[in-house]
Amino acid sequence: MQYGFKNKFKLNGVQILALGFLIAIFIGAILLSLPISSSSGESTNLLDSLFTSTSAVCVTGLVTLDTSSHWSTFGQTVIMTLIEIGGLGFMSFAVLISLILGKKITLRERLVMQEAMNTYSIQGLVKMVRYVLIFTVSVQFFGALLLSTQFIPEYGIGKGIFYSFFHSISSFCNAGFDLFGTSLMGYSSNAVVILVISALIIIGGLGFTVLLEIYEFKGIKKLSLHSKLVIITSLILIVGGTVLMFLFELNNKATFGNMNMQDKLLNSFFASVSPRTAGFNSVVTTDMTMASKFLTIILMIIGGSPGSTAGGLKTVTCGILFLTVLSVIRGREDTEVFGRRFTKEVVYKSFTIVFIALALVIGVTMVLSYTEVGASFIDLLYEATSALGTVGLTLGLTPKLSAIGKVLIMIMMYLGRVGPLTVMLALTRKKKKSGYRYPEGKILIG
């Protein structure tokens, strides 16, 4: 009887992952609500502290309070730590502590790590986590080193170094938090800052499995199907997004119109990279054309790649959907690419993720249209998509959100980071095979 009771309340890997993020969020909220965390020395109300903590752990970047002016250095350090935990996953830090203490990693912990890292198997997981941590620290340190060449002359040694590490970590983890108060609008003509931030965003958004294959590169033919699909889809989105952003904003005097050609190309590239899913902006988002705003929404919902610090539907999910449609048009029975086919389970899962995500965006946008009086439809859709995609871009709506609006956006950020399907699996029991199949039914489609 006692054994059955224990089994009933035993958490599986997905549930531990979902719960772990919630615990990190609440601990962060408590720390941020302390007087020491605010620049004024006064306690911050729990709702805004919870919102900021959720945004940091879910590496989103949407804020109701200005990060640069409201929070003290201690508060900003807490936010930076939460971003790192959210970007790499709390399990990576748990493994790091276990390795330092010389503790053996159990099978159950490996299964949770597999879910967190989004890998094929548990074989070599500890080695991979070790590689991820070393690689992350190295890339973030190198990024901070390059950024310090720009920030130290401007802010001095102490503040310049802190700013460099904060923005390097925020960029690599695709968080979008900044300490300038105006994102990167003051650096729209600074190629070093824009390109370094862009590089960190791209590297962090590729996925650690892909990065490991690139590091051990043995030729294109040796790359896995997953890595090929990630790299090609990412390149298409970056190049295609850059071209379209350039065309949409070319003659817009409020954004790119008065820039020279080099800056136009630089900012077009950044406007294509950042929405997937970093959340920095080098121009005023509200001044962008409607076409650019809509393109940004599309890029935000697609997001980065599986097993990365980025959110969104993921490049592979969207790639599989596109290939499935292409296969149907061509009359093929299976979804195929590079001489390989995808299983029906993978295709079904991709369609399920997209359906749930779109349903969430539509549903939250509809509720926000009722609670946020005076906000335009594009502002609401933009905000909901940004939250689910863990992007952090906004058209100015976030600071004006009502209490209900803040709660809804927090839920969307959490679902976007953990994954809508992961949360659903955490709340439901593991599926069981029925052992039988119903006879086919015929319906008309289209």
Q: Which residues pair with 71 in a beta bridge?
A: 38
Compute the average pLDDT of residues 354-370. 94
Kindly report the pTM of this predicted structure. Answer: 0.87
| Dist. CA 60–CA 58, nearest whole Å | 6
pLDDT given for residue 35 in this prediction: 96
Higher pLDDT, 105 or 170: 170
Task: Report pLDDT for 4.
Answer: 47
Place of tokens 């929405």: 275
Q: Quick one: tokens of 283?
A: 């121009």
The pLDDT, as a whole number, for residue 2 is: 47
Return the pLDDT at 1. Answer: 44
111-115 average pLDDT score: 54
Q: What share of the chain is helix, strand, coil (3-state, %, to 5)?
A: 65, 0, 30
Q: Model confidence at 441, in pLDDT bands (50, 70, 90)?
A: confident
Contact 380, 369 (CB under 8 A): yes
More confident residue, 353 or 4: 353
Which has the closest alpha carbon to 271: 310, 440, 250? 250
- Say yes or no to pLDDT of 149 above 50: yes
Q: Which amino acid, 267? A: N
Closest residue by Cα to residue 299 from 325, 284, 281, 324: 281
170 near 80, Cβ under 8 Å?
yes
Q: What angle do CA 20, 22, 28 make, to 5 degrees?
A: 105
Q: Span 368-389, mean pLDDT?
A: 95
d(CA 210, CA 304): 12
Per-residue model confidence as pLDDT tens digits over 208-217: 788 888 877 7
Mean pLDDT score of the chain: 85
Rounded CA-CA distance 171/191 in Å is 16
Q: What is the pLDDT of residues 220-260, one digit of tens each?
A: 777 888 889 999 999 999 999 999 999 999 999 999 999 99
Helix (H) or strand (E) run with residue 341 in it: strand 340-341
Peptide bond into 289 cis (omega under 30): no
